[in-house]
Amino acid sequence: MTAFEPSVVELFVGPEARRVDVFDRYTVDLSMLEVGTAFTLSFWYSPASRETPWRVLVDRANGVKCGDLVTLAVDGDAVLSGLVETRDVGDDEGREGPAFVISGRDLLGGAVSWDADPALTLAGLRLEDALEHLYRGVGVVPEVSESIPPEARVGALRRPRRGAFGRKASRTSLTRVKHPRVGEKVQQVVSRIVRGLGYRVWTTPAENSGRTAVVVDRPRAAGEVHFRLSRVLDEDGRVVASSNILGGRERTSIADVPTEVTVFADAPRGDASAAKIARTVVNGFLLTPEASARVSDDAPPRPRFVESRAARTPEVAHNEATRVCAQANEGFRRYTATVLGHRQGGRLWVPNSRVAVRDDLVGVDETMLLVAATLDGSKAGAQKTRLTLVPEGALSELPEEEPT
């Protein structure tokens, strides 16, 4: 296996970013497919830790509390910013010793759970301003950013700031969503806004930032490949020493993937009548060589028919059918691999990075898009990262019309 790059992992808690270095295990998810991803940090009691580290955790005035902001740093780079939502302290009879376990979600966890103010007027606002108004209602103060270039270091950790809304990216497109609906979660409104403009939204480490940023961007489809995964077999079927994949698996499923999608809609024609629109799109993603190698040509057709309220023109109906195909294709084929460490060549494994993958054992040899990374480690064990990748072109970025 290739050389392991060990990392220094640190935790900072609260508005003053107090350093807490007594945690024994961490599990952190980074994903561009969802927001509000969970984290868990475990601290085990020992007599040696009683006087200082353990007291830091349980102190009634200054200990770790629900609602505290936490930032996990890898080699000084902020990879997670989130809120403590649950603290669980103590032990059970017959179990291991006392533990202090904190868990929560990333910076947008509150936006996933809590409602947007339906009195907000959003239409015509710049995207940056609309996001600021929405997130402010649930106390989320993120930095808006483009996804970082994979060749860049993420940046030195700074003290997290609660009172400023950083703007690294220029996202000046005008919002078309008028108002949040009653009972609609903040992140649901944000997703509607960014989908309408052809973007995605997720959280990720940000260049030169003291915490993770809210990324508003498109899936990466070009640029240099900086990461490589390999499990190469020699002539005797043994894994060569230069390989870095500890374990790899590919899953392909056509269960929810249509072969074609037809969108039906009404187009205004005047005199209170409407012209019928019907547009059919063949799922070309299934016709690629990589897909054909995994799906039989004799598989039965899988049509999907969609009635749209937003498609008022043939072009919009065509785009909607294409988008339905693309959304299904996200789950068509996924490759997961586990590697040692959280970096390769000094760069953090972060979503929206292009990765050259060669796994002779499962028959993968192509460039794929990294969409999720789980960082896992402990003081007693190795640091590992579990990576999830999809074929390039599998993620949708077509603008989505707002229903009228």
**pLDDT tens by residue, 279-323:** 999 998 899 899 999 999 999 999 999 988 877 888 888 888 988
Percent of the chain with pLDDT over 70: 84
- Reported as a single tens digit per residue, the pLDDT across 67-115 is 988 888 888 878 888 889 999 999 887 667 788 888 999 888 989 999 9
Residue 243's CB is within 10 A of a number of other CB atoms, namely: 20
Cβ-in-10-Å burial (0-12, 13-18, 19+) of 259 comes to: middle
Residue 47 has pLDDT above 80, yes or no: no
Residue 208 has pLDDT above 70, yes or no: no
Residue spans of the domains in the chain: they are 260-329
What residues contact 296, with CB distance under 8 A and at least 6 apart? none
Q: Which two tokens stand for residue 402?
A: 């707002």
Residue 176's CB is within 10 A of a number of other CB atoms, namely: 17
Determine the Cα–Cα distance for residues 258 and 87; give it in Å rounded to an integer. Answer: 44
125-151: burial string, b at 16+ Cβ within 10 Å, e else? bebbbbbbbbbebbebbbbbbbbbebe
Determine the Cα–Cα distance for residues 350 and 214; give it in Å rounded to an integer. Answer: 14
Cβ-in-10-Å burial (0-12, 13-18, 19+) of 279 comes to: buried
Dihedral Cα 102, 107, 112, 117, nearest 10 deg = 120
165-169, 242-246, 263-267: segment of lowest average pLDDT: 165-169
pLDDT at residue number 156: 42
Average pLDDT over residues 197-213: 73
